């Protein structure tokens, strides 16, 4: 909930009479109320842009952030002059206006007491463009994460490479990517947060290389912006194209996270992935927080009163369930409660007796039962803190396979499995548990993640087989993956 965090700006510097108009729904918002809601429109959920310092204040523990390389400033390697301004003069004006020396702030901090290295970009500074100093600061931050063996978080907000520095700017794409490859070789996690906008050379380099990629709702995230695409293609893009939601649909990001949930999700990821101390892998089961908004299990745990037994040999169980249901509806009388307890004990005893003596046909009936538990039910019942991760990073997010990170008996695990769905509508959405090639690529990606961080894998199989379609053959259904 938004009130969980401090206001982004201190109350004394937010005048009561200043208002802002939401660019999406045109609602007039009082500035103080907008800041209390973390600069998110309460009517349409539009996420206003944050400065780098506002983003840091939102995410990390109070007074924990220590800035690095604050005095590192850029130069004008090409002596660049445009028709309107000299680049060196523009840099001086931008430093004064934004109050920072470059388009990124780096440092180290803690979230719920867990250490991480942080790089946060600021779109206010020349559109968050990546010049040589931005690349240098991020590379130094990555190298510090390797040295201290702690996770890395980069929050991107950028228009891409900085054209005034030419090739020097483009070289930062390779430089930061190589540094992240070294971080990966060291077995350390990199979390990437994509905010509005993240485009160009930043998207084409470090922003899309995260082990887990999160995005804020509605953000513009792409390589070529919509105006560039429309000018080149001479056609208008469809509604919602090149947005965070578009990327989630096409398998490029793991999750879209509301701003008021970002700190909570990052804290969970740090608990899962922290390499600072092997003891961090042993998580207390009672540490898992309320997952109602993030859980994959749509049905939750069924109570005895809601269970149904429709097979012939299950009828004695159904009679007991009906009795418990009727007694529960008749109030809280002491005799009712006593009979409910007795009937419940009898139900458990009869269940054990019946299911421990099934013949072959009865076993097959249970295995094929349309209401048998699905993968999400087992995840809900067996695991703690499940965080579903989406996408194959290539084409799409196959709903027939779900997977993510969780804890099992205190051990961080990767869990994945087929999901057939509940009811006809959901089964169509899940393709009846028949994966497309992107489903297998998603499973492969999660298994590779488990290998990298030495997490056990729990795999739940429930499928009639791969989907036998022509498009699936075109996308490499039978291709071997290493």
Q: Residue ranges of the domains in the chain?
A: 1-48, 49-281, 285-297+371-474, 309-367
CA angle centred on 257, ends 254 and 263, rounded to 5°? 110
The pTM of this model reads 0.86
Answer whether 49-281 and 285-297+371-474 agree in fold.
yes
CA atoms of 183 and 177, how far apart (whole Å):
10
CA atoms of 5 and 392, how far apart (whole Å):
33
Give me the half-sphere count of Cα atoms (radius 13 Å) on the Cβ side of residue 226: 13
Q: Are the CB atoms for 55 and 119 separated by under 8 Å?
A: no
CA angle centred on 443, ends 437 and 446, rounded to 5°? 140
What backbone phi and psi angles, to 5 degrees, belong to 71? -90, 5
CA atoms of 24 and 47, how far apart (whole Å):
10
CA atoms of 376 and 421, how far apart (whole Å):
9
CA 440 to chain centre: 19
What backbone phi and psi angles, to 5 degrees, belong to 66? -120, 115
**pLDDT, one tens digit for every residue, the chain (482 residues):** 444 455 555 555 555 567 889 999 999 999 888 999 999 999 999 999 999 999 999 999 999 999 999 999 988 999 999 887 899 999 999 999 999 999 999 999 999 999 999 999 999 999 999 999 999 999 999 999 999 999 999 999 999 999 999 999 999 999 999 999 999 999 999 999 999 999 999 999 999 999 999 999 999 999 998 999 999 989 889 988 999 999 999 999 999 999 999 999 999 999 998 743 444 444 343 343 344 334 444 444 455 555 667 788 888 888 888 888 888 877 666 777 788 888 888 888 988 999 899 999 999 988 888 888 899 999 999 999 999 999 999 999 999 999 999 999 989 999 999 999 988 999 999 999 999 999 999 999 999 999 999 999 999 999 999 999 999 999 888 886 66
CATH 1.10.357.10 matches 285-297+371-474: no
Gyration radius (Cα) of the chain, Å: 26
> Which fold does the domain 49-281 belong to in CATH?
2-enoyl-CoA Hydratase; Chain A, domain 1 (3.90.226)
């Amino acid at each position: 909930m938004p009130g969980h965090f401090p206001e982004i700006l201190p109350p004394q510097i937010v005048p009561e009479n200043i208002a802002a108009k939401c660019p999406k729904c045109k609602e007039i918002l009082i500035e103080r109320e907008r800041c209390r809601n973390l600069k998110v429109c309460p009517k349409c959920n539009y996420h206003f842009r944050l400065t780098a310092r506002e983003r840091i204040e939102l995410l990390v523990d109070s007074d924990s952030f220590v800035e690095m390389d604050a005095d590192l400033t850029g130069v004008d390697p090409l002596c660049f002059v445009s028709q309107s301004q000299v680049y060196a003069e523009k840099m001086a004006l931008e430093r004064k206006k934004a109050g920072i020396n470059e388009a990124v702030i780096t440092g180290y901090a803690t979230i719920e007491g867990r250490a991480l290295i942080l790089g946060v970009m600021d779109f206010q500074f020349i559109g968050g463009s990546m010049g040589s100093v931005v690349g240098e600061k991020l590379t130094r931050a990555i190298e510090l994460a390797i040295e201290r063996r702690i996770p890395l978080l980069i929050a991107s907000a950028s228009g891409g490479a900085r054209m005034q520095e030419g090739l020097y700017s483009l070289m930062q794409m390779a430089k930061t990517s190589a540094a992240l490859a070294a971080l990966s070789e060291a077995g350390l996690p990199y979390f990437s947060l994509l905010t509005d906008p993240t485009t160009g050379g930043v998207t084409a380099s470090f922003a899309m290389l995260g082990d887990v990629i999160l995005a804020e709702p509605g953000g513009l995230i792409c390589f070529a912006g919509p105006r560039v695409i429309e000018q080149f293609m001479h056609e208008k893009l469809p509604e919602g194209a090149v947005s965070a939601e578009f990327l989630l649909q096409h398998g490029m990001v793991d999750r879209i996270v509301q701003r008021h949930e970002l700190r909570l999700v990052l804290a969970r990821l740090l608990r899962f992935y922290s390499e600072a101390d092997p003891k961090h892998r042993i998580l207390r089961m009672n540490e898992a927080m309320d997952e109602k908004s993030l859980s994959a299990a749509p049905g939750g745990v069924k109570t005895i009163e809601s269970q149904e037994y429709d097979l012939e040999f299950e009828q004695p169980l159904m009679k007991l369930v009906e009795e418990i249901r009727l007694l529960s509806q008749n109030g809280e009388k002491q005799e009712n409660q006593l009979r409910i307890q007795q009937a419940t004990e009898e139900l458990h005893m009869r269940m054990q007796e019946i299911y421990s003596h099934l013949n072959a046909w009865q076993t097959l009936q249970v295995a094929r039962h349309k209401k048998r538990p699905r993968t999400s039910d087992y995840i809900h019942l067996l695991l703690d803190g499940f965080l579903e991760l989406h996408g194959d990073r290539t084409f799409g997010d196959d709903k027939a396979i779900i997977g993510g990170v969780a804890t099992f008996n205190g051990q961080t695990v990767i869990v994945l499995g087929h999901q057939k769905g509940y009811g006809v509508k959901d089964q169509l959405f899940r393709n009846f548990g028949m994966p497309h090639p992107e489903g297998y690529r998603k499973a492969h990606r999660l298994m590779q993640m488990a290998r990298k961080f030495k997490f056990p894998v729990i795999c739940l199989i429930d499928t009639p087989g791969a989907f036998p379609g022509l498009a699936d053959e075109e996308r490499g259904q039978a291709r071997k993956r290493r």
